[in-house]
Structure 1
Amino acid sequence: MPIAPSLIGGSLPGWAFLQSTQESQQATFETSSDIQRNVAGMREKLSEPFSLDDLMGDRQLLRPVLQSFGLEGEIDKGAFVRRIISDGPDDPSGFARRLNNTDFIELARVFEADSDGLIRLTSSKVDELVQNYQDEAFQVAVGEQEPDLRLALNFEQDIGALARDSASDRSFWFKVIGSAPLMEVFSAAFILPDGFSNLDVDKQADYLQKRGEQRLGSNPRAALATDDGIQSTIRDFILQRQLENGPDALTPGASALTLLSGNSGLGSAGLFSLLISNAT
């Protein structure tokens, strides 16, 4: 088993602690024998030309490869993964495009075979996949203790590049909608209404743009390309989760809330809102 990260909860203090210790904690995590074995296997097997059959037939390689795209949950869906890759990234009728999932599209793009039926990765692409695997593996380990912190780490890692690289506001929101982890953060941070996912995708994009303008200013995509905009959204996400789940021991004023919640007409939710507003 990999070395477990040290966390102090999923509240804002817990997020601040993780951010301040992440570099050293991840370096320690990456010394785990499981991680080093997978990294060595990826470097050895992905550095030479290989076929889709080679990839799909090697579960010890396929698992970290899928994890490098945040798709570790697909490891037991061999036929599905094979179809994603073989259909390619650009076919409008292919699985990757039809599913409107940026991770699937990127998987299909990276592992697209050449005219000889072989997949050839550059050394820089192998390095990128290895780093993505290590980052994702650390996030998974964090999520085993604090799922919301894993979502925050993923958001922090992905949203800036997505905002910068998207051709327009609309294409940016379409990509966000296609990513379940990003949408979970925005759903809480923007306080999206129940049934939002049942709306037509164009209406979802319109609503996200409007809520983004209310939360982040007139150009939310530009704001989300900056650290300030990213951290503001993560803060809103974590605070909303605290409001939904109740305070933990590290929430400012939590002890007072425990003592007073039974003696005030405000109730615990009202007191918690006051304590959070006073502490931020």
Structure 2
Amino acid sequence: MSFQPVLPLGGLAGWKFLQRTLDTQMESHARAPQRVRATEYFREQIAEVTSASDLLADRRLREVALGAFGLQDDIDSIAFIRRVLEDGPDKEDGLPNRLSDKRYLSLAQAFDFTTGESPALRDEGFVDRIIEAYHARSFEIAVGEQDQSMRMAMVIDRDLTDILDAGRSDAASWFRVMGNPPLRKVFETALGFGSGFGALDLDQQLTQFRRRAQSIFGSTELAQFDDPETRKALTQRFLLMDQVQQSLSQWSPAAAALTLLQNANIRR
């Protein structure tokens, strides 16, 4: 039987429980037989890969390589992923740079086959990092099967840190957030944007993200989230706002009217 994360509560209380037990739960998750088999196979076989075609020809290698970047749903999109890998990260008009979802760019940067063979695949440290990321992402998926909001909260520290560590301009960093679906959802929820926000022009979205971030967190700059305490505040606000949205969506108009009447009676 595979390990299932223990999430006795939702929302902020559930998040605090998960943080207290995270290391133990992730270790148990990584020891599950199917994940041990997947990562041992990857470690043994990846050194034989000399091209993007070699990597993509082996479904078991694709499982770990794509899973490490949260792209497990593309495991059968072989032609598309080959184009991502072979275009590479450096061409401005290459596919990874044109896609709004920047996880593909991260994949292309890690497995760089633009010169043929990827030198990273001979680096044991690189292989360790891919396996570690695969375990982390697969644990997040397992969490998401029980609580999707908790899964999104888990990406905040890792993905925001990766974006900020890249040293891009503030605007470019915000656009990377906007191109990361889970992180984008976190910010949209925490900053109180509605479902139609994504239909705005990208430059307008950037302006609104900055304005709301300044109003709530004190600065227009994404770099403020380099501070662990500010990231913690973002996470807590996301979970609280998400709970509010879920509660409102479950109310019928009659229940909402009854609640308003009850509140009015209490104030009398």
Q: Fold conserved (TM > 0.5)?
A: yes
Give the CA deviation at 1:200: 1.7
Aligned partner of 1:132 in structure 2 is: 133
Amino acid across the alignment from 1:123: E
User: Equivalents in 2 of 1:157, 1:94: separation in Å?
Assistant: 26
Report if the CA contact (8 A) 2:3-2:28 is conserved: yes
Aligned partner of 2:80 in structure 1 is: 80
* 1:177 to 2:178 alignment: yes
User: Equivalents in 1 of 2:234, 2:76: separation in Å?
Assistant: 34
Aligned partner of 2:146 in structure 1 is: 145
* 1:118 to 2:114 alignment: no
Unaligned runs of 5+ in 1: 248-260, 272-280
Amino acid across the alignment from 2:222: R
Cα displacement string for residues 239-264 of structure 1 (whole angstroms, at most 9, x for unaligned residues):
111111129xxxxxxxxxxxxx9576
Give the CA deviation at 1:195: 2.1
Give the CA deviation at 1:174: 0.7
1:1-280 to structure 2, matched below 5 A, reads 2-113=2-113, 115=115, 117-121=116-120, 122-218=123-219, 220-246=221-247, 265=261
Cα displacement string for residues 70-100 of structure 1 (whole angstroms, at most 9, x for unaligned residues):
1111112111111111111122222111113
User: Equivalents in 2 of 1:44, 1:134: separation in Å?
Assistant: 17
Aligned partner of 2:252 in structure 1 is: none
Amino acid across the alignment from 1:190: L
User: Equivalents in 1 of 2:161, 2:155: separation in Å?
Assistant: 11
Amino acid across the alignment from 1:73: D
User: Equivalents in 2 of 1:73, 1:225: separation in Å?
Assistant: 30
Report if the CA contact (8 A) 1:9-1:146 is conserved: no
User: Equivalents in 2 of 1:113, 1:106: separation in Å?
Assistant: 13
User: Equivalents in 1 of 2:180, 2:260: separation in Å?
Assistant: 42
When normalised by structure 2's length, the TM-score is: 0.88
Amino acid across the alignment from 1:230: R
Stretch moving more, 123-132 or 38-47? 38-47
Give the CA deviation at 1:266: 5.2
Amino acid across the alignment from 1:177: M
Report if the CA contact (8 A) 1:12-1:239 is conserved: yes
User: Equivalents in 2 of 1:51, 1:8: separation in Å?
Assistant: 45
Q: CA RMSD in A?
A: 2.0
User: Equivalents in 1 of 2:100, 2:45: separation in Å?
Assistant: 29
User: Equivalents in 1 of 2:47, 2:127: separation in Å?
Assistant: 7
Give the CA deviation at 1:50: 2.2
Stretch moving more, 137-146 or 157-166? 157-166
User: Equivalents in 2 of 1:70, 1:266: separation in Å?
Assistant: 46
Give the CA deviation at 1:237: 0.9
Secondary structure, aligned partner of 1:137: helix
Stretch moving more, 151-160 or 134-143? 151-160
Stretch moving more, 154-163 or 177-186? 154-163
Query: What is the identity percentage for the equivalent residue pairs of Structure 1 and Structure 2?
Result: 31
Relative to structure 1, the CA distance from residue 23 to residue 239 in structure 2 (aligned partners, 3 Å threshold; closer, same or farther) is same
Amino acid across the alignment from 1:120: P
Secondary structure, aligned partner of 2:173: helix
Report if the CA contact (8 A) 1:56-1:82 is conserved: yes
Give the CA deviation at 1:144: 0.7
Give the CA deviation at 1:111: 1.6
